[in-house]
Structure 1
Amino acid sequence: MRFKKGLLRGSLIAAGTMLLLTACSPDSSSTNGKASGDKKASGTITYAGGWATNGVTNPFGSNNIIQNDLSYVPLAWYKYTEDFDYWKVLADSWEMSDDGKTFTVKINPKAKWSDGSALTANDVYVTFELQCLTGAAEGWGLSKINVVDDHTVQFQRDPKTLYSKVMFERQILNNVAILPGKIYEKYIPDNLWTLVKDWGGDKESQATKDATAKLTEYAKKAQSVNLNPKDLIFDGPWELVRTSSSQQLYQKNPNYLYADNVNAGKVVAINQTTNDVTWRALKNGELDYAGVGYSKVVYDQVMKVHKNSYIAAPMSQGMALYFNENISPFDNVKVRQALAYAIDRTAAQKIGEPIGALESGKINGLYKTVAEQWLSKDQLDSLEAYDPNPDKVTELLKSAGFNKTDKGWMVPNGKPFKFNVTVPNLSDWVAGIDAITNQLRKQGIQAQTSVVDTTTWTQEVPLGKYSIYANWDGGSDINPSQAFNQLYITDNNYSVTPSGKLKNTATSPDQRQEAIPETINVPSLGKVKPMELTLQLLGDLSQEEKKGLVYKLAKTTNYYMPFIPIWWQAAGRTISTQRWEWPDITNKPELENQYTYHTPFVVFQTLGLMKQK
């Protein structure tokens, strides 16, 4: 369960001078777009996939049954590391202009479709036109695409849109798989870019409303069509052969750009309709890879057999306790700090999420590995750890005017310190929150767990219905701008306009989710405006400028305590080494991250890092 952030809109802009960006690439010199033979590709990978039994055969479809990661690849794969590096896939090179307005991509001239036809700039052009139909591309500030020649595409970016260059590049290179233009160009309206421009105008104007309706109409047509499997062509490592409700078969695409590196001649996907299906297959030794959660009992059973092992890959989201500062006494920073000292977060994590989660570490708004990339050791050491400390709880609550009696802690007006912690009915979250409220009651704080259904929770959290509540944190992205954007802007009832202005989205002043003030006095930093700093972080800055902002926001979060992260979620992946040798990911974050953000064996096979035993 994740929050989906709203998209921004852009307008037409011009080109400029180029700044070269670099990336490494797998070796494709021996392929030359021709079949490489199957002498190295006799192996089969079996993994747990997932598709709707009533879906459509349509890689752009909203109910698509094809495992796109197997059959379609992007221009490049992002390593999800601090240096913003990539592995080349279909792209040969790329450049961002000095003024940040034009992003030029050159396609590898050896790239071909599975039928042997050339993969050209038109395929890339149509692929991103499809993204405009759904509104996704406009959200990145994409305002125009130009085909320069058969292997060169220019993407025009609106610099007035608050979407940084590095994030724009990632959307173009990594986040969109390239689809066959000859199949989808019929669904693109002739006046697409006029509609895109109108869609980015005044939301109340009739032109914008008409453009929205027209683009939505075209998007639905393109997404709902059920294509004939025989008409499909593929640019990825494997092509779909047949499908049923329970299993799909893919065979090696001999015209894949890196076919010589691919050692798996076939991939079999089983339909992971329930966890039980996957657990049974793992226990029987039928799977080489699966992304599935476990109970402790099932985990122990699976890991004992067939050389199965578990990888807890880092994710940029977790579960945290959030405070509503519109409700007393949670408007008092000392009370929030006291609760941080009162909670044993590690103990709660071991109860609520013993498998598939990582300890929350120092409270700074960022996932541990992200914080280590953006903050220096001295900066991290300067942050308070908030380890469990009853003496600090007593000191802080007394300094806030609380009094402890034989009945527990009393707030300044003499009433018991009593509150509910609201949590959606997710079993792991409920178990973790129960552990926390039990801890607090033992310390004289009358906390109770209040479980609500997920729909009610989703509707009522933004309305400020809860004083303390469990929620996702981390922004679901390794870029620190996204974590702080969630914490200080979107979850604080604000949004960002395309031009970078803050807009209050609260229905009324007393209906606020967090109610974090615009200005916070932070020891050693003085007055800090976290929303303004986050806005700056969302834009185009140098790496050093970004690191300075990240430190200020991390330091502010550590002091002000708008939330208490309880655990960070891990991308739990199971691999079996009985048939395949998987690459060692020790101290190799670029490889470890593929378990989180991609189907890892697709990347590893392309890079030539997997061998059959």
Structure 2
Amino acid sequence: MTSTPPEHLLEMSRRNVLRAVGAGAAATAATGALSACAGGDSGSGGARQFTGVFDFDLDSNTRNVAVEDGALLLNSVYKDLFLMTGGFYNWREHTWDYMLLEGSEWDGNDLVVTLRPGLKWSDGSDLTADDMIQSYAIAILEVAPWAVGFPQVAELEKLDDLSVRLGFDAPFPNIERSIIKHRIVARSTYAEFGERALDLVGSGVRHGDDEQSEFIAEFVEFAPEEIVCSGPYMFDPEQMSDARITLVRNENGYQGGEVLFDEVVVHKGDNRQSALLVQQREVDYSTEAPSAADQQAFQGVEGFKWVEHVGYDGCGLMFNYAAKPELEDVRVRKALAHLLDTETIGQVARGEAYSGVEYYAGLVDLQAEEIMTEEELAGFEHYGYNPDRATELLEDAGWTLSDGIWHLPDGEAASYEIIGVAGWGDFELTASQVEEAWNSFGIRCEARNVPSDNPWGIWGAGDFEVAVRHWGNPEIPDYWGAFQMNFLLENSGDEDNPGQSFDLNVDSPSQGEVDVAELIEEAKRAGTEEEQHAALKRLAIIFNELLPRIPIWTYRYLAPAIEGVRVEHFAADHPAANNEQYQDNHVILSLIQGDLRPVE
């Protein structure tokens, strides 16, 4: 529990809430214009539509879907509708619901993956093991070396028209997940690169080799004119504009004859615009992040309901230790954490759609409770709002307060720039609240927002001092994924992409000297659950003691949905309800499986 904030902090929060509500009210005037762009409830000829929203850009988004970042709709939940993976993963049951794949099995150190027979691409060509093996070869050259799955593949072999063998030197539990989740691309588009990639991989070329660098430099510039689709929907070039994209039924694709909606329309809209479209009942389902004011406005919309998705990550602060070396002192990091009323920040940034942080274990609290006992978690330090403790820690670190401003041990006034992301409302509001909290305490802070087209590049390059950034496990359903995110992502150690510049050789008060990268690898490769949990517990303790990032709040994914206009009903519970929203979305799964029904 956080302590009750003082009156000046409460007043600060009230101002932020009023500011958010005011923005919501003022923006309502724009609703009519959005509605005019959005169109009606049904498609051409009375087609049954499912409608969503995503902030795409037809001009800047590429059609090179083998390079996910920057490709059209590939960062949205709608990607699975037109470019299928091998399967959906059930995060609660830890089982696969195979899609393009008929199945996968291990034979010693070899993983054999087999396609469903009779699959076709939207251009009418057959989807075979040739598409699969070429896609895998490209991925081996493209995927970052710290990733799990493709970087560990030693051999590739086509067994027959439907099966491919991937040989590993030393596989470990769940290493196959990224293989099964990989989006196979059409050789009718990528054959030239696919054949080259197969030759390079077969000759032993891997990440960091000159030939790999040359290949990737060419590959990321590749700009095909269209996206050849494998899913139940495909792009309709005649119905693509800056305002909306229409996906039409792909009879050749997987489940193309079984899905119950003829079209899927994706309206263009950022967080604010998407909320207005929900209020106008122009979209059936949105995964964009609504503000607290928008959440309140939804309650008066006919047919509105929340679709909840479990959150495995959160929002917090990532430090650049090279830019601000005083942050290498753990006392300073802890002091900065104690200046944040996380409950207030979460409420302002996300409204109902957040949870607080209790354990500061690097894992979300749900996962921490799954692998540790109450007694173990009772020993974890809680970094709630406590300005007196912050003062003690800073003074102990040699900081001094003069004329209301905190100074570093060398006498220089402490100052930080914190970056949010433009258009990411929760990140923007989190950054502005941290700015106010630290400034109020006498630590100079200025918040600004970087463009939303590539914050990942800015984070990776270390072009920041303090960044509002995710923490936890947003993509990998194995516990060690959270620590890979917290410690290794944006921490490559190379000059061009130093990221956080956090030293992974740490000295933990309770665990001693530890190479965190080796400990994460130990958690990955553990032969038994007991061994894995032992490594994970050490990582959680180290995170709690050293606080390399500051967790502020955890995502509680509340996706607004509208029933009764185009969609008959969104199930209150679903067998895959514990799936991560952006990786294995159970609403999209229901649509693909034909369980989501249109209004008749």
TM-score scaled by length of structure 2: 0.73
Q: Does the CA contact (< 8 Å) of 1:140 and 1:168 recur in 2?
A: no
Counterparts of 1:337 and 1:544, CA distance in 2: 31
Task: Check 1:126–1:347 CA distance in 2 against 1; reply closer, same or farther (3 A cut).
Answer: same
Deviations 1:54-92 (A, max 9, x none): 4676755875579642223221112245x6422111222
The question of 1:125 aligning with 2:130 is answered no
Q: Which residue of 1 aligns with 2:505?
A: 518
**1:603: Cα distance to partner?**
0.6
Q: What letter corresponds to residue 380 of structure 1 in structure 2?
A: L
Counterparts of 1:236 and 1:471, CA distance in 2: 32
Counterparts of 1:45 and 1:465, CA distance in 2: 40
Counterparts of 1:531 and 1:60, CA distance in 2: 29
**1:243: Cα distance to partner?**
2.3
The question of 1:365 aligning with 2:374 is answered no
Q: Which residue of 2 aligns with 1:225?
A: 224
**1:292: Cα distance to partner?**
2.1
> Where do 1:81-160 residues align within 5 Å?
81=92, 84-98=94-108, 100=109, 102-109=110-117, 111=119, 119-131=127-139, 134=142, 140-159=151-170
Task: Check 1:156–1:449 CA distance in 2 against 1; reply closer, same or farther (3 A cut).
Answer: same
> Where do 1:2-401 residues align within 5 Å?
43-49=48-54, 51-54=56-59, 60=66, 63-64=71-72, 68-81=79-92, 84-98=94-108, 100=109, 102-109=110-117, 111=119, 119-131=127-139, 134=142, 140-159=151-170, 165-166=172-173, 168-176=175-183, 178-181=184-187, 183-184=188-189, 186-188=191-193, 190=195, 192-196=197-201, 200=205, 203=208, 208-210=209-211, 212-214=213-215, 216-217=217-218, 219=219, 223-227=222-226, 234-241=229-236, 242-245=238-241, 246-254=243-251, 258=255, 262-264=259-261, 266-275=262-271, 277-311=273-307, 313=309, 314-320=311-317, 322=319, 324=321, 330-354=327-351, 356-389=353-386, 392-393=389-390, 396=393
Q: Which residue of 1 aligns with 2:446?
A: 450
Task: Check 1:540–1:118 CA distance in 2 against 1; reply closer, same or farther (3 A cut).
Answer: farther
Does the residue aligned with 1:485 lie in a helix, a strand or coil? helix
Counterparts of 1:192 and 1:326, CA distance in 2: 38
Q: What letter corresponds to residue 136 of structure 2 in structure 1?
A: F
Counterparts of 1:63 and 1:462, CA distance in 2: 19
Does the residue aligned with 2:508 lie in a helix, a strand or coil? strand
Counterparts of 2:538 and 2:157, CA distance in 1: 40
Task: Report the identity percentage.
Answer: 18
Q: What letter corresponds to residue 270 of structure 1 in structure 2?
A: V
Q: What letter corresponds to residue 419 of structure 2 in structure 1?
A: P
Deviations 1:252-280 (A, max 9, x none): 4456554676332x123133155565344
Q: Which residue of 1 aligns with 2:592?
A: 606
Q: Does the CA contact (< 8 Å) of 1:357 and 1:569 recur in 2?
A: yes
> Where do 1:389-428 residues align within 5 Å?
389=386, 392-393=389-390, 396=393, 419-426=414-421, 428=426
Q: Which residue of 1 aligns with 2:12?
A: none
Q: What letter corresponds to residue 150 of structure 1 in structure 2?
A: D
Q: Does the CA contact (< 8 Å) of 1:522 and 1:528 recur in 2?
A: no
**1:409: Cα distance to partner?**
9.3
Q: Does the CA contact (< 8 Å) of 2:129 and 2:163 recur in 1?
A: yes
Q: Does the CA contact (< 8 Å) of 1:303 and 1:310 recur in 2?
A: no
Q: Which residue of 1 aligns with 2:494?
A: 505
Q: Does the CA contact (< 8 Å) of 1:50 and 1:270 recur in 2?
A: no
Counterparts of 1:210 and 1:398, CA distance in 2: 53
Equivalenced residue count is: 534
Measured on the aligned residues, the alpha-carbon RMSD in Å equals 4.4
Q: Does the CA contact (< 8 Å) of 2:279 and 2:297 recur in 1?
A: yes
Q: What letter corresponds to residue 233 of structure 2 in structure 1?
A: W
Deviations 1:118-152 (A, max 9, x none): 64323323433443564579953334432222332
Counterparts of 1:290 and 1:411, CA distance in 2: 46
**1:195: Cα distance to partner?**
1.9
Counterparts of 2:481 and 2:299, CA distance in 1: 35
Task: Check 1:574–1:408 CA distance in 2 against 1; reply closer, same or farther (3 A cut).
Answer: same
Deviations 1:176-218 (A, max 9, x none): 2x3444x236424655433235673695xxxx4345425644x
Deviations 1:312-337 (A, max 9, x none): 53152422253749967645444443
TM-score scaled by length of structure 1: 0.72
Q: What letter corresponds to residue 201 of structure 2 in structure 1?
A: V
Task: Check 1:128–1:450 CA distance in 2 against 1; reply closer, same or farther (3 A cut).
Answer: same
> Where do 1:553-592 residues align within 5 Å?
553-571=539-557, 573-578=559-564, 579-585=567-573, 590-592=576-578
Task: Check 1:295–1:541 CA distance in 2 against 1; reply closer, same or farther (3 A cut).
Answer: same
Does the residue aligned with 1:583 lie in a helix, a strand or coil? coil
Counterparts of 2:122 and 2:462, CA distance in 1: 53
**1:595 equivalent among 576, 581, 595:** 581
Q: What letter corresponds to residue 174 of structure 1 in structure 2?
A: K
Does the residue aligned with 1:140 lie in a helix, a strand or coil? helix
Counterparts of 1:459 and 1:256, CA distance in 2: 34
Counterparts of 1:517 and 1:248, CA distance in 2: 44
Counterparts of 2:193 and 2:164, CA distance in 1: 18
**1:174: Cα distance to partner?**
1.2
Task: Check 1:600–1:108 CA distance in 2 against 1; reply closer, same or farther (3 A cut).
Answer: same
Q: Does the CA contact (< 8 Å) of 1:594 and 1:603 recur in 2?
A: no
Counterparts of 2:157 and 2:49, CA distance in 1: 41
**1:564: Cα distance to partner?**
1.9
Counterparts of 1:328 and 1:226, CA distance in 2: 47
**1:294: Cα distance to partner?**
2.9
**1:410: Cα distance to partner?**
7.5
Does the residue aligned with 2:376 lie in a helix, a strand or coil? helix
**1:363: Cα distance to partner?**
0.8
**1:235: Cα distance to partner?**
3.5
Counterparts of 1:124 and 1:261, CA distance in 2: 24
**1:374: Cα distance to partner?**
3.7
Q: What letter corresponds to residue 582 of structure 2 in structure 1?
A: T
